[in-house]
């Protein structure tokens, strides 16, 4: 449904690949020079889950009833039953049922 | 604690041990990869684009977030910053591995961290504290997850294309459910509630009033800043 120019997507994916690799390698490079302090650790720790919250929130608020119900069920199952796959499967199932 | 006198090394037997230990989680990872493949097809990515992401990015949260930002005109800067915000924690993880990996040749160090994920890091670092010195344990765990992720993506791409009305089967909510599950699935920690509330609120304000795609960056930074301010208060209270 979305016609994307090939060079543009290659560029985007290439940049993301570079960033993911750099993140994995940079700890080794930084530590050979300066140790990382606790305050930076706290910032990064909170930021890496906040970014996902920021992605999810508009999907829930602007989603249909099926999407909202899916979020409720998937989140609940993930927290209380600790089963990620079951959470995703049930989330999809309730969204499908809602729209049936 | 038992064999801590052993020198750091990287060999095949250690790598196989890492692979074996990671097999149960790798089975789950195939399913996650499948979910990514299906979601990618639904979002309009071509097969090579999805495969390139899975083989070389090898990062479920970043890849799903990138799918959400995927549009006719790709917001490359927003995608880059989002990936950076999600991935900076791996800098901390590889920093924690530095004392262990440091005696190895540099090419081995920098190859091994190529397959660094939350799961094999957590597994390997706890074994390191118990005296494990074979870096193959970390590498093998990562390789098992990598194969599973790429395989799952391939299966998802293959079958996802045959589904014509993804909404009817709830396939469009895979992305939402996956991101939600990895955010709250490890047990929401109380010290993060305030950060998350701030991230959600600021993201929505940015979503409605700022140019498109900025909400992710705004939410990430707000969450991080709230955590640092909040923690500083907690430290001062403890001292009093």
Mark whether A49 and A77 lie in a shared domain. Answer: yes
Mark whether A41 and A29 lie in a shared domain. Answer: no
Nearest Cα to A83, choosing from B82, B74, B186, B23?
Answer: B186
Mark whether A51 and A2 lie in a shared domain. Answer: no
Mark whether A64 and A90 lie in a shared domain. Answer: yes
Question: Are the beta carbons of B224 and A8 separated by less than 8 Å?
Answer: no
**A·B CB contacts under 8 A:** 293
3-class SS shares of chain B: helix, strand, coil, % to 5: 80, 0, 20
Expressed as residue numbers, the domain containing A96 is 37-100
Extract the tokens encoding A82.
């600790």
Q: Write down the pLDDT at residue B56.
A: 96
Q: In this predicted model, what pLDDT tens digit does every residue of B69-125 receive, in sequence order?
A: 998 888 999 999 999 988 888 888 888 899 899 899 999 999 999 999 988 988 888
Cα–Cα distance measured from residue B50 to residue B28, given in angstroms and rounded to the nearest whole number: 19
Please count the structural domains in chain A. 2
- Predicted-assembly ipTM surpassing the 0.85 threshold: no
Q: What is the pTM of this model?
A: 0.79
Q: Write down the pLDDT at residue B130.
A: 83
Nearest Cα to B28, choosing from B60, B67, B66, B68?
Answer: B60
Mark whether A26 and A44 lie in a shared domain. Answer: no
Nearest Cα to B185, choosing from A82, A95, A34?
Answer: A82
Mark whether A75 and A95 lie in a shared domain. Answer: yes
Rounded to 5 degrees, what are φ and ψ at A46?
A: -70, -35
Residue B104 DSSP class: S
Mark whether A69 and A94 lie in a shared domain. Answer: yes
Contact by Cβ (8 Å): B89, A33: no
Q: In this predicted model, what pLDDT tens digit does every residue of B214-224 receive, in sequence order?
A: 888 899 899 99
Residue A35 DSSP class: P
Extract the tokens encoding B154.
């391939």
Q: In this predicted model, what pLDDT tens digit does every residue of B162-174 receive, in sequence order?
A: 776 767 777 778 8
Contact by Cβ (8 Å): B58, B115: yes
Contact by Cβ (8 Å): A63, A55: no
Extract the tokens encoding A40.
């930076």
Cα–Cα distance measured from residue A82 to residue A9, given in angstroms and rounded to the nearest whole number: 36
Q: How confident is the model at residue B234 (pLDDT cuts 50, 70, 90)?
A: low
Extract the tokens encoding A18.
């570079």
Mark whether A18 and A54 lie in a shared domain. Answer: no
Mark whether A55 and A75 lie in a shared domain. Answer: yes
Distance from the A18 Cα atom to the nearest Cα atom in chain B, whole angstroms: 8
- Kindly report which listed range (A47-51, B103-107, B146-150, B233-237) carries the lowest average pLDDT score: B233-237
Mark whether A13 and A48 lie in a shared domain. Answer: no
- Chain A residues lying within 8 Å of B169, measured CB to CB: 92, 96
- Chain B residues lying within 8 Å of A92, measured CB to CB: 169-171, 173-174, 177
Contact by Cβ (8 Å): A66, A95: yes
Mark whether A2 and A51 lie in a shared domain. Answer: no
Mark whether A16 and A61 lie in a shared domain. Answer: no
Nearest Cα to B227, choosing from B183, B197, B187?
Answer: B197
CA distances from B134 to B104, B124, B129, B139, B158 (A): 11, 9, 12, 9, 37
Question: Are the beta carbons of A44 and B224 separated by less than 8 Å?
Answer: yes
Nearest Cα to A24, choosing from B21, B59, B152?
Answer: B59
> How crowded is residue B37: how many other Cβ atoms within 10 Å of its Cβ?
27
Residue from B79, B170, B186 to probe the interface with A (highest A Cβ count within 10 Å): B170
Question: Residue A84 belongs to what H/E stretch?
Answer: helix A84-99
Residue A81 DSSP class: T
Extract the tokens encoding B44.
């309009």
Residue B134 DSSP class: B
């Amino acid at each position: 449904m979305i016609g994307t120019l090939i060079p543009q997507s290659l560029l985007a994916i290439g940049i993301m690949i570079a960033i993911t690799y750099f993140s994995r390698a940079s700890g080794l490079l930084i530590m050979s020079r300066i140790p990382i302090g606790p305050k930076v650790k706290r910032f990064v720790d909170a930021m890496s889950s906040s970014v996902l919250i920021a992605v999810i929130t508009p999907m829930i608020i602007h989603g249909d009833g099926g999407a909202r119900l899916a979020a409720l069920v998937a989140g609940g199952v993930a927290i209380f039953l600790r089963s990620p796959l079951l959470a995703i499967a049930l989330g999809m199932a309730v969204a499908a049922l809602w729209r049936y | 604690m038992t064999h801590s006198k052993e020198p750091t090394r990287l060999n095949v037997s250690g790598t196989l041990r890492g692979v074996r230990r990671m097999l149960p989680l790798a089975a789950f990872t195939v399913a996650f990869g499948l979910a990514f493949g299906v979601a990618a097809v639904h979002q309009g990515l071509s097969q090579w684009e999805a495969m390139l992401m899975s083989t070389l990015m090898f990062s479920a949260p970043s890849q799903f977030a990138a799918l959400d930002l995927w549009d006719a005109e790709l917001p490359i800067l927003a995608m880059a910053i989002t990936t950076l915000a999600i991935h900076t924690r791996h800098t901390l993880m590889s920093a924690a591995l530095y004392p262990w990996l440091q005696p190895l040749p540099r090419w081995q160090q920098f190859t091994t961290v190529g397959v660094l994920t939350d799961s094999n890091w957590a597994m390997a670092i706890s074994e390191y504290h118990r005296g494990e010195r074979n870096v193959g344990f970390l590498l093998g765990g990562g390789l098992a997850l990598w194969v599973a992720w790429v395989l799952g993506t391939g299966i998802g791409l293959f079958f996802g294309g045959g589904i014509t009305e993804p909404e009817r089967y709830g396939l469009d909510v895979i992305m939402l459910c996956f991101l939600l599950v990895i955010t709250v699935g490890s047990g929401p920690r109380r010290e993060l509630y305030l950060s998350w509330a701030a991230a959600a609120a600021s993201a929505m304000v940015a979503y409605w009033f700022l140019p498109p795609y900025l909400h992710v960056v705004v939410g990430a930074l707000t969450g991080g800043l709230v955590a640092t301010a909040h923690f500083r208060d907690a430290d001062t209270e403890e001292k009093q």
